[in-house]
């Protein structure tokens, strides 16, 4: 018997003998990342995850619950650099860490291009409004954290008081989101790096 009673229970419900929870979630993450929520059919998810329908529902619940689990994994494994950026010592260092992390994510051939968050916040099918709301809430959490960090940086003198901290934070977010969109539409690594260099050259402070 495993240390996880939930997994023991699902085994009795017909899940594959060699079921690997982390592997299955990673496979589901790639499907949602590539196809979006609406485009990720149950049959495609089952094939990618190596599960039957009973195992999927017994372990993860419905498709929406699975997506919530996948987003947790995505933020933990793929976009942790965003929160790490907030801990950098200066506002410019925040921007550079955010950009470099975004570049690394988009130039890793093991990952699909673009952003799971952006895909699901700007495009959804009728009936999927709850998914868009869920993703937007997470995006707004990050947005507020970035505004708080730029406000703190302004108080610390990282950039001139004439610069509006909120506007700077939103410009930084727009630029990093833009990198993800550009990568998803085929921009090369050299082009993405050029965008980052240009933005950092225009940064209003040290």
Statement to judge: residues 124 and 194 lie in one domain? yes
What is the per-residue pLDDT for 123? 56
On whether the CB atoms of residues 166 and 151 are closer than 8 A, the answer is yes
For the domain that residue 35 is a member of, what is the CATH number? 1.10.10.60
Statement to judge: residues 66 and 86 lie in one domain? no
What is the per-residue pLDDT for 38? 87
Statement to judge: residues 10 and 84 lie in one domain? no
Calculate mean pLDDT across residues 88-100: 96
Of 12-16, 84-88, 163-167, 176-180, give the lowest mean pLDDT range: 12-16
Statement to judge: residues 110 and 192 lie in one domain? yes
Q: What is the residue range of 125's domain?
A: 78-201
Statement to judge: residues 54 and 89 lie in one domain? no
Statement to judge: residues 59 and 33 lie in one domain? yes
pLDDT in tens, 17-35: 456 888 999 999 999 998 8
What is the per-residue pLDDT for 117? 76
Statement to judge: residues 150 and 101 lie in one domain? yes
| Lookup result for tokens 């619950």 | 65
Statement to judge: residues 123 and 25 lie in one domain? no
pLDDT in tens, 109-143: 888 888 887 766 655 566 678 888 888 899 899 99
pLDDT in tens, 184-205: 888 899 999 999 999 999 999 8
Q: How far apart are CA 23 and CA 34, in angstroms?
A: 17
Chain centroid to CA 120: how far?
10
Statement to judge: residues 83 and 28 lie in one domain? no
């Amino acid at each position: 018997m495993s240390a996880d009673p939930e997994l023991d229970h699902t085994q009795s419900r017909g899940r594959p003998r060699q079921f690997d929870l982390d592997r299955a979630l990673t496979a589901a993450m790639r499907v949602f990342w590539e196809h979006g929520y609406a485009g990720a059919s149950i049959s495609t998810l089952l094939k990618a995850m190596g599960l039957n329908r009973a195992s999927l529902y017994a372990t993860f619940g419905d498709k929406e619950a699975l997506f919530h689990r996948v987003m947790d994994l995505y933020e933990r494994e793929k976009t942790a650099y965003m929160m790490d950026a907030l801990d950098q010592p200066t506002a410019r260092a925040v921007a550079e860490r955010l950009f470099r992390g975004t570049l690394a994510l988009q130039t890793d051939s093991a990952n699909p291009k673009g952003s799971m968050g952006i895909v699901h916040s700007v495009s959804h099918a009728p009936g999927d409004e709850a998914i868009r709301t869920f993703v937007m809430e997470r995006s707004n959490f990050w947005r507020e954290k970035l505004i708080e960090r730029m406000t703190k940086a302004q108080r610390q003198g990282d950039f001139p008081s004439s610069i509006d901290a909120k506007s700077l934070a939103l410009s930084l977010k727009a630029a990093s989101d833009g990198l993800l969109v550009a990568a998803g539409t085929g921009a090369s690594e050299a082009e993405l790096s050029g965008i980052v260099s240009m933005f950092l050259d225009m940064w209003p402070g040290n």
